[in-house]
């Protein structure tokens, strides 16, 4: 694993966005690039999803927070509202149809329209090889990581039409550079790159753009199996061109930019946020 991860991060690609945040005392930028817009972010009570939700709200959007556990939703909503941000929340396990319906209904409560969907929720129930994955593991990974973004979007689409909105899927650097220990997960994240391209074509006539955030290794609970391993983690950090590990906030600015009018001619792109990557 150590060798594989180190190799992945020995590339040269460096992506940088220049989006600034102009804050008021309430925490919301009333004249922000996303003012009067409504965003749904899945898996947004922790890690990358929470950072994205916070950033979209800071930039003026009303954000609907969601994840599987009520207590996590309550905690995230309270924290962001405490920062003066406009957010509401509901439970939504993205793999469950009833939960997706609940999320749609919650989102419509705000203004009856939806501008942005960020499909961040993702799972990896197995550290092991592709051929070692049971049918149950395949079903879970493909259902949550690949099918749910398409199924949720199909339900939200009627309310996104005529809004010139945007969809952002969340893949992984393992889509390009598979980690041997993450067999089926790698495959699901590669599928998301294709889903991005296909949806971008399908939704272009409706003026809805579809792009994909491709994070490298980011310090979250999801990656804690790696950062709990101190020798690996320190070695990894030193091997990074930027001499640091990615933080959830490193991913958030890109998502805000992709939602903004500045990205109005960008669709179907898979954009790496990994410090650098060997991808041309
Ligand atoms: N961290 C990394 O290094 C890294 C690298 C590349 C890509 N990614 C991708 O980035 C995304 C977010 O990862 P993260 O590192 O931020 O993870 P994280 O810190 O573990 O947070 C995951 C969030 O998703 C929620 N969640 C989990 N399963 C869900 C489901 N089935 N339905 C709805 N919500 C669910 C969790 O809350 P509940 O427990 O309440 O559901 C939590 O809010 C994932 O798609 C992951 O594959 C992460």
> Residue-wise over 119-157: b if at least 16 C-beta within 10 A, else e?
bbbbbbebebeeeebeeebbebbbbbbbbbbeebbebbb
- The residue to mutate among 44, 137, 222, 273, having the most atoms of ligand 1 within 8 angstroms of its beta carbon, is 222
pLDDT (mean) for 219-236: 86
Does residue 185's CB lie within 6 angstroms of at least one atom of ligand 1? Answer: no
pLDDT tens digits for range 74-131: 999 999 999 999 999 999 999 999 999 999 999 999 999 999 999 999 999 998 999 9
Among protein residues, the one whose CA lies closest to atom 44 of ligand 1: 122
Residues for the chain: how many in total? 280
What gap in Å lies between CA 269 and CA 267, rounded to an integer? 5
pLDDT tens digits for range 9-26: 322 222 223 333 445 556
Return the pLDDT at 19: 36
Q: Walk me through the domains of the chain, giving residue ranges and CATH numbers.
A: 2-272 (3.40.50.720)
Among protein residues, the one whose CA lies closest to atom 37 of ligand 1: 67
- For residue 185, the ligand 1 atom closest to its alpha carbon is 47
Cα torsion at 266, 190, 144, 15 (round to 10°)?
A: -50
Does residue 46's CB lie within 6 angstroms of at least one atom of ligand 1? Answer: yes
pTM (two decimals): 0.92
- The rounded Å distance from CA 91 to ligand 1 centre is 14
Whole-number Cα distances in Å, 133 to 67, 94, 128, 185, 271: 25, 21, 7, 10, 28
What gap in Å lies between CA 274 and CA 165, rounded to an integer? 26
Among 120, 102, 109, 71, which residue's Cα sits nearest to residue 87? 109
Does residue 95's CB lie within 6 angstroms of at least one atom of ligand 1? Answer: yes
What gap in Å lies between CA 211 and CA 167, rounded to an integer? 6
Among 210, 215, 208, 154, which residue's Cα sits nearest to residue 189? 215
pLDDT (mean) for 133-147: 97
pLDDT tens digits for range 32-72: 999 999 999 999 999 999 999 999 999 999 999 999 999 99
- For residue 69, the ligand 1 atom closest to its alpha carbon is 40
What gap in Å lies between CA 77 and CA 182, rounded to an integer? 32
Does residue 8's CB lie within 6 angstroms of at least one atom of ligand 1? Answer: no
């Amino acid at each position: 694993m150590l060798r594989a991860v180190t190799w992945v991060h020995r590339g040269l690609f460096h992506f940088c966005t220049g989006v600034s945040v102009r804050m008021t005392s309430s925490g919301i930028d009333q004249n922000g690039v996303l003012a009067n817009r409504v965003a749904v972010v899945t898996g947004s009570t922790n890690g990358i999803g929470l950072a994205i939700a916070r950033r979209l709200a800071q930039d003026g959007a009303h954000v609907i927070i969601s994840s599987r556990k009520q207590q996590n939703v309550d905690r995230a909503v309270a924290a962001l509202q405490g920062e003066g941000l406009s957010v509401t929340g509901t439970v939504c396990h993205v793999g469950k149809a009833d939960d997706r319906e609940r999320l749609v209904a919650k989102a419509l409560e705000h203004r009856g329209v939806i501008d942005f969907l960020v499909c961040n929720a993702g799972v990896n129930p197995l550290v092991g090889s592709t051929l070692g994955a049971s049918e149950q593991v395949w079903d879970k990974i493909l259902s949550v990581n690949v099918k749910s973004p398409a199924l949720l979007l199909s339900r939200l689409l009627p309310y996104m039409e005529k809004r010139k909105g945007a969809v952002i899927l969340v893949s992984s650097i393992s889509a390009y550079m598979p980690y041997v220990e993450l067999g089926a997960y790698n495959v699901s994240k590669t599928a998301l790159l294709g889903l991005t391209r296909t949806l971008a074509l399908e939704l272009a006539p409706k003026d809805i753009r579809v792009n994909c955030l491709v994070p490298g290794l980011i310090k979250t609970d999801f990656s804690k199996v790696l950062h709990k391993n101190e020798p690996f983690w320190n070695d990894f950090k030193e091997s990074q061109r930027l001499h640091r590990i990615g933080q959830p906030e490193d991913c958030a600015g890109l998502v805000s930019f992709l939602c903004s009018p500045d990205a109005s001619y960008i669709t179907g792109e898979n954009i790496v946020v990994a410090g650098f990557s060997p991808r041309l």
